[in-house]
Structure 1
Amino acid sequence: MATASVTTPEGEGEVERGAKARTRRAILEAAATVLAADGSASLTAVADAAGVGRTTLHRYFPERVDLVRALAQHTVAETDRRYREARPDDGDPVAALRRIAEALLDLGPVLMYLYSEPLIAQDAACQAVLEGGEDPLDRLLDRAAPALRPDLPVAWVRRAFWSLLYTAWEAVREDEMARHEVLEALMATFTAGVLAPQRAAPGSR
């Protein structure tokens, strides 16, 4: 969108850009909550949740697909940030898996929405955003290999972890299980199934 050229005091442009960035982030965070709860929710509902007008939302995201594409990018960036905070390359690999599970637990609703959203399936750019890049979990599972059952392929272990994480998301949303209960159940099920018999799973981070 073109903007008018005006003379402003030094530094005001940076403030404006900061305000625009905050508004954009507020819209995306509102979209993550609203669309995760109801994928068919209107853009007006997103605007209301963000505390902005429909016109303002359309200035940032003219079409619904623009919002969905930006939400995918925003969610991937947030996932990457949480991966970093979980420190997958540090310390005991099983404890690191627990940190990853905890870090990604709250992103479940928006990730479930994005992977089931038809606009994503129809948009190659969106798919590339969600599927591209290295998954730190792969690197971590390679590091954890000595602690895993030798009869289970690492690819199977990876799928098992993601399946349990998906189940954890559903348990929070549909069964209203407490967050800490879900995390404990996830790790107990996962470690009992994939760890070598002599390996005891650590109970803390």
Structure 2
Amino acid sequence: MTVKRYAGTSSCYPRRVTDAQVSGSRARTRQAIVDAAIEVLGRNPAASLGDIAAAADVGRTTLHRYFAERAELLAAVGAEGSARLARATAQARMAEGTGASAVHRLCQEYFDLGSLLSLIFTEPGLTAGPATDGPDGCDPEFAAMVERGHRDGTIDPELPADWVQSLVWSQLYAGWAYLAETGASRHEVLRLILRTVDGAIAVKPT
């Protein structure tokens, strides 16, 4: 139980703070630290814990209460990053529509991962990325999407799934590098990525 003293009076009134409230507050602080770590490390993988604490608007002592070591924070960042990547993949609805339209949606959802995308590129082992146990090391869901595009005539059948997967990731990387170097708007960079990918995978006239 905590005691709250009301300004202008000498009275103290007990105010119960439940375990759920304490737990919720701790969870929010922990999440704020992890979110800040993704943003800061996405810009600078060598950033210090002090930089992350400042971005999370907490003291370094508070950060260490939640994550005693840098490795513990990185593990939490990896888990959060993997969860966000999985949600983005699900939101892209890879099994719906034409193959090309699904690739288009996937690029949009992954681009919206923001700083996490930069972190995936600079620290590829940190998050659990798409599965690679399909043919030629390609994510099975991605491979099925591309093969559907081959059948429905929206993806060039000369392009194997693993090539298209590499193309998508390389263009996302190029887009974020371009964004950092030029200061172009995110809307414009996404437009360029989609135009490049859509054009690259389209069936070429014979």
Q: Give the TM-score normalised by structure 1.
A: 0.77
Q: Percent identity?
A: 34
* 1:50 to 2:67 alignment: no
Q: Which has the higher helix share?
A: 1
Unaligned runs of 5+ in 1: 1-8, 199-205
The partner residue of 1:153 within 157, 160, 164 is 160
Does residue 170 in structure 1 map to residue 174 in structure 2?
Answer: no
Q: Which residue of 1 aligns with 2:42?
A: 36
Match of 1:192 in 2: 199
Q: Distance in 2 between matches of 1:114 and 1:152?
A: 25
Q: Distance in 2 between matches of 1:43 and 1:61?
A: 10
Q: Compute the displacement of 1:87 (Å).
A: 2.2
Which of 50, 55, 61 lines up with 2:67 in the alignment? 61
Aligned residues: 182
CA contact (8 A) 1:72 1:114 kept: no
> Matched residues in 1 for 2:150 and 2:52: separation?
44
CA contact (8 A) 1:108 1:166 kept: no
Q: Structure 2 length normalisation: TM-score?
A: 0.77
Q: Is the 8 A contact 2:82 2:129 kept in 1?
A: no
CA distance in 2, matches of 1:115, 1:92: 28
Q: Deviation digits for residues 73-126 of structure 1, max 9, x if unmatched?
A: 111111111222222222233222222212111335333335434xx76xxxx5
Contact 1:145–1:154 (Cα < 8 Å) also in 2 = no
Deviation string 1:151-189 (CA, Å, 9 cap, x unpaired) is 222211111111111111111111222222222211222
Q: Does 1:93 align with 2:91?
A: no
Structure 2 residue runs of 5 or longer lacking an equivalent are 1-15, 133-138
Contact persistence 1:76–1:130 (CA under 8 A): yes
Q: Which moved more, 1:17-26 or 1:88-97?
A: 88-97
Cα deviation for residue 133 of structure 1 reads: 4.3
